[in-house]
Amino acid sequence: MELIIAETVKYILTALMILYSFQSFLVFRHKEEEETRAICRGQTVVMVLIQFLSFMVLYLEERDIQIIVYYLVSQTTILAVIIFYSIVYRNSSRLLVNNMCLLLTISFIMLTRLSYYRAIRQVLVAIASLIITSTIPYILMKFSDIRRYYYFFAIFGIVMFLLVLFFSVAVNGSKLNVNIFGVTFQPSEFVKLTFVISMAGFLAKSHKLKDVVITGLIALAHVMLLVLAKDLGSALIFFVVYIVLIYVATGRFNYVLAGSAAGLMAAIAGYKLFSHVRVRVAAFTDPFGTIDNAGYQIAQSLFAIGTGGFFGMGIGQGAPKKIPVVVSDFIFSAIAEEMGVIFAICIILVCLSCFIMFMNISIKFKDSFYKLVGVGIAVIYIFQVFLTIGGVTKFIPLTGVTLPLISYGGNSIMVTLIMFAIIQGLYVNRKKS
Residue 141 lies in a domain: no
Q: Does residue 408 share a domain with residue 367?
A: yes
325: in domain: yes
Q: Could you list the residue range(s) of the whole structural domain that residue 414 is in?
A: 2-134+280-432
User: From the CB of residue 115, how many other CB atoms can be counted at a distance below 10 Å?
Assistant: 16
- The CA R_g of the chain, rounded to the nearest whole Å, is 21
Q: Which ranges in 1-149 belong to alpha helices (H)?
A: 2-26, 33-62, 65-88, 94-114, 116-133, 136-142
Q: Closest Cα to residue 118, out of 327, 319, 335?
A: 327
Integer Cα distance of 151 and 252 in angstroms: 24
Separate counts of helices (H) and strands (E) for the chain: 17, 2
Under the phi-then-psi rule, with left for phi > 0, alpha for psi from -120 to 50, and beta for the rest, what region is 405? left
Q: Does residue 287 sit in helix, strand or coil?
A: coil
- Rounded Cα gap, residues 212 and 245, in angstroms: 11
Domain count for the chain: 2
Enter the DSSP assignment of 174: B
Beta bridge partners of 179: 184
Co-location of 405 and 348 in the same domain: yes
pTM of the full predicted structure?
A: 0.92
Q: Assess whether 99 and 164 both reside in one domain.
A: no
The verdict on residue 140 lying in a domain is no
Domain annotation covers residue 351: yes
370 domain-assigned: yes
User: Which 8-state DSSP code applies to residue 171?
Assistant: B
Q: Domain check: are 175 and 31 in the same one? A: no
Helix (H) / strand (E) containing 230: none
Tell whether 128 and 155 lie within a shared domain: no
Reading the chain (433 residues) residue by residue, the pLDDT tens digits are 677 888 889 999 999 999 999 999 998 887 777 778 888 999 999 999 999 999 999 998 888 899 999 999 999 999 999 999 999 888 888 999 999 999 999 999 999 999 999 999 999 999 999 999 999 988 887 776 777 888 888 898 888 888 877 776 666 656 666 666 556 677 778 899 999 999 998 888 877 777 788 888 898 898 888 888 877 788 889 999 999 999 888 888 887 888 778 778 877 777 777 766 777 777 777 788 778 777 888 889 999 999 988 999 999 888 888 888 899 889 999 999 999 999 999 999 999 999 999 999 988 887 888 899 999 999 999 999 999 999 999 888 888 789 999 999 888 999 999 999 999 988 887 654 4
Q: Per DSSP, which regions of 119-211 are E strands?
A: 178-180, 183-185
Question: Is residue 17 domain-shared with residue 129, that is, in the same domain?
Answer: yes
